[in-house]
């Protein structure tokens, strides 16, 4: 798992809307909860393998700042950390001096700042859009926001769906909305945020996932990170199984991004194991898997130093940038 290059993935062009397929989806909540409850205890990785998996977690990380008090300085520091996510001496000892994160995710206001700071690094900038986090802006403004971020250099757009459409079962309207967002994104890859904690049921999560993939989503993403409940293993299991079903039916691979609440290295391993078991090794790459993270990186860096030295370090030894 130590390589730094990954094969290109053919983009999902979407399919025609199929209400019958959507309404046929049902989720057995108790079975999902039993499956995810056993995963952290049943699968563990240790020593060299753990270090390798944690480095892969870094490579699949969208390093994120989405706070109301974000500043240009904060974003510049974040981009510096994205270029060198782990202290240089540790990366040299680990044999991966060129390790970087998957992307940097910011509000539209700071897209230009991040693009400039990351020039020459091949690290894409992702912009949250469409009235993030609530997604209640007028449709015309949502499309203009996407267009503005793409023009400023964002290579990935994280859109939020209108939750009321999923809660009301208006799947055709949700399909039309997401399809319009995909058109506005153009060459920029689109991640659709479902806000799973606000969708009411696991069956709604499954159906919303499928509708977004039908509409051309490149990734489906659990949460904005601003909801009361964000990424959980049950939500993630449902979404990954929808990714698998869509791939089996269409031949197109769609990525998955859990976001919100994943703060420790151990938690990141749980999600990597879930991806390996449900979707296979190909989905353990930044082309098809991302963590939305702001504090996760610090704990992973501390774990990697412990792997090399046998001692845990203070957090100030691993600054943001």
Percent of the chain with pLDDT over 70: 96
221 flagged as catalytic = yes
CATH H superfamily, domain 19-312: Aldolase class I (3.20.20.70)
Which residue of the set 221, 253, 270, 299 is catalytic?
221
Q: How confident is the model at residue 220 (pLDDT cuts 50, 70, 90)?
A: very high
Average pLDDT of span 29-56: 90
Whether pLDDT at 52 is above 60: yes
Whether pLDDT at 169 is above 60: yes
Nearest to 86 by CA among 298, 267, 314, 296: 298
Average pLDDT of span 168-181: 98
In contact, 130 and 142? CB cutoff 8 Å: yes
pLDDT at residue 128, as a whole number: 98
257 flagged as catalytic = yes
In contact, 319 and 101? CB cutoff 8 Å: no
Q: What is the pTM for the complete model shown?
A: 0.94
Q: Which residues contact residue 57 at a Cβ distance below 8 angstroms, ignoring those fewer than 6 apart? A: 265, 268, 269, 272, 291, 296, 300
Whether pLDDT at 71 is above 60: yes
Cβ neighbourhood burial of 146 (10 Å; 0-12, 13-18, 19+): buried
Query: What are the two backbone dihedrals, phi and then psi, of residue 306, each rounded to the nearest 5 degrees?
Result: -60, -40
pLDDT at residue 1, as a whole number: 39
29 flagged as catalytic = no
Which residue of the set 142, 257, 270, 299 is catalytic?
257
Q: How confident is the model at residue 295 (pLDDT cuts 50, 70, 90)?
A: confident
Which residue of the set 62, 81, 155, 158 is catalytic?
158
Average pLDDT of span 262-287: 95
Q: 41-45, 127-131, 294-298: lowest mean pLDDT where?
A: 41-45
- Domain extent listing, the chain: 19-312
Q: Is 293 helix (H, G, I), strand (E, B) or coil?
A: strand
Share in percent of the chain as helix, strand, coil (round to 5):
50, 10, 40
């Amino acid at each position: 798992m130590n390589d730094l290059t990954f094969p290109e993935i053919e983009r999902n062009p979407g399919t025609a809307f199929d209400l019958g397929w959507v309404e046929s989806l049902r989720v057995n909540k108790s079975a999902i909860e039993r499956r995810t409850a056993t995963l952290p205890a049943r699968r563990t990785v240790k020593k060299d393998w753990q270090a390798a998996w944690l480095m892969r977690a870094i490579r699949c990380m969208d390093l994120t700042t989405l706070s109301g008090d974000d500043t240009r300085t904060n974003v510049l520091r974040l981009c510096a950390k994205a270029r060198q996510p782990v202290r240089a001496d540790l990366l040299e000892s680990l044999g991966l001096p060129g390790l970087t994160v998957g992307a940097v995710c910011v509000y539209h206001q700071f897209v230009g700042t991040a693009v400039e700071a990351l020039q020459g690094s091949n690290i894409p900038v992702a912009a949250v859009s469409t009235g993030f986090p609530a997604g209640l802006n007028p449709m015309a403004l949502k499309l203009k926001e996407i267009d503005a971020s793409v023009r400023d250099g964002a290579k990935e757009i994280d859109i939020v769906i209108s939750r009321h459409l999923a809660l009301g079962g208006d799947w055709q309207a949700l399909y039309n909305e997401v399809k319009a967002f995909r058109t506005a994104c153009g060459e920029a890859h689109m991640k659709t945020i479902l806000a799973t904690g606000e969708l009411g049921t696991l069956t709604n999560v499954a159906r919303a996932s499928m509708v977004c993939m039908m509409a051309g989503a490149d990734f489906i993403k659990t949460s904005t990170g601003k909801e009361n409940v964000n990424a959980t293993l049950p939500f993630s299991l449902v979404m990954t199984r929808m990714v698998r079903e869509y791939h089996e039916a269409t031949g197109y691979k769609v990525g998955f991004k859990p976001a919100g609440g994943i703060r420790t290295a151990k938690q990141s391993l749980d999600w990597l194991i879930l991806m390996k078991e449900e979707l296979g090794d190909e989905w353990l790459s930044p082309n098809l898997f991302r963590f939305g993270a702001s504090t996760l990186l610090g704990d992973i860096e501390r774990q990697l130093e412990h792997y090399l030295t046998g001692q845990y370090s203070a957090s100030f030894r691993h600054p943001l940038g």
